[in-house]
């Protein structure tokens, strides 16, 4: 039995993730040189998560275009999404910026895993369940769960990045004499 894939939902996931990519690009362009390790790690994470969600959202649409359906569609999509997820994690964990951040975490960096780790687990577990074919009847739902967790993770990372920025108050212009 061939189910109908919710193509629009996957396109919306890609569009939402594209917004996070745009915010990340805008932030990097507005900062002439992002040199703070903390800022670099969070900015790279927002961009990486956004790109992952875009790619993972477009894979099932593309694969289904070749006549692949049912579990084979979700298996192929989950394998690609999981492989990219693992590569991102490996590259991220091996970066010198991440090692420096882990040696000198800011207060928010200590709290970040309280939400970040469960989201990692949801993404990986959902994809692994699809790959193993544990509940084939809900493969699409499991795959969408991983995408939703990716979008939430990107939003949470962007929020953590913005909340941790050290804002310098501008001088009050009303008090300035001409």
Flag whether 110 is in a domain: yes
Flag whether 100 is in a domain: yes
Q: What is the dihedral of CA 61, 66, 67, 72, to 10 degrees?
A: -70
Long-range Cβ contacts of 133-138 (<8 Å, 24+ apart): 133/71, 133/75, 136/70, 136/71
Task: Report the first-to-last Cα separation within the chain, whole angstroms.
Answer: 77
Flag whether 11 is in a domain: yes
Number of separate domains in the chain: 1
Q: Give the range among 3-12, 49-58, 137-146, 155-164 with minimum mean pLDDT.
A: 3-12
Q: How far, rounded to the nearest angstrom, does the alpha carbon of residue 97 sit from its chain's CA centroid?
A: 18
Flag whether 150 is in a domain: yes
Residues 27-76: tens digit of each pLDDT: 665 665 556 777 888 888 988 999 999 999 999 999 999 999 999 999 99
Flag whether 170 is in a domain: no
pLDDT at 152: 93
Q: Write out the DSSP string of 74-114.
A: HHHHHHHHHHHHHHHHHHHHH-HHHHHHHHS--HHHHHTHH
Q: Which residues, 6 or more positions from 81, have their beta carbon under 8 angstroms from its beta carbon?
A: 52, 55, 56, 59, 127, 143, 146
Flag whether 27 is in a domain: yes
Q: The domain containing residue 29 runs over which residues?
A: 7-165
Q: Which residues, 6 or more positions from 61, have their beta carbon under 8 angstroms from its beta carbon?
A: 5, 7, 10, 11
User: For residues 162 and 143, what is the distance between their CA atoms, to the nearest angstrom?
Assistant: 29
Flag whether 173 is in a domain: no
User: For residues 106 and 111, what is the distance between their CA atoms, to the nearest angstrom?
Assistant: 9
Q: Count CA atoms within 13 Å of residue 101 on its CB side.
A: 23
When the pLDDT of each residue in the chain is averaged and rounded to a whole number, the result is 84
Who has greater pLDDT, 3 or 52? 52
Flag whether 65 is in a domain: yes
């Amino acid at each position: 039995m061939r189910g109908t894939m919710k193509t629009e939902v996957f396109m919306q996931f890609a569009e939402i993730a594209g917004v996070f990519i745009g915010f990340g690009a805008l932030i990097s362009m507005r900062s002439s040189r992002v040199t703070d390790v903390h800022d670099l790690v969070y900015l790279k994470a927002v961009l990486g998560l956004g790109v992952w969600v875009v790619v993972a959202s477009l894979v099932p649409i593309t694969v289904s275009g070749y006549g692949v359906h049912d579990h084979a569609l979700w298996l192929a999509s989950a394998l690609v999404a999981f492989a990219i997820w693992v590569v991102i994690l490996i590259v991220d964990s091996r970066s010198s910026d991440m090692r420096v951040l882990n040696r000198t975490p800011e207060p928010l960096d200590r709290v970040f895993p309280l939400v970040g780790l469960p989201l990692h687990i949801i993404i990986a577990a959902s994809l692994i369940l699809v790959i193993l074919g544990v509940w084939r009847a809900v493969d699409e739902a499991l795959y969408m769960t991983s995408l939703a967790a990716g979008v939430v993770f990107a939003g949470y990372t962007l929020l953590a990045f913005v909340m941790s920025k050290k804002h310098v108050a501008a001088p009050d212009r009303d008090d300035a004499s001409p």
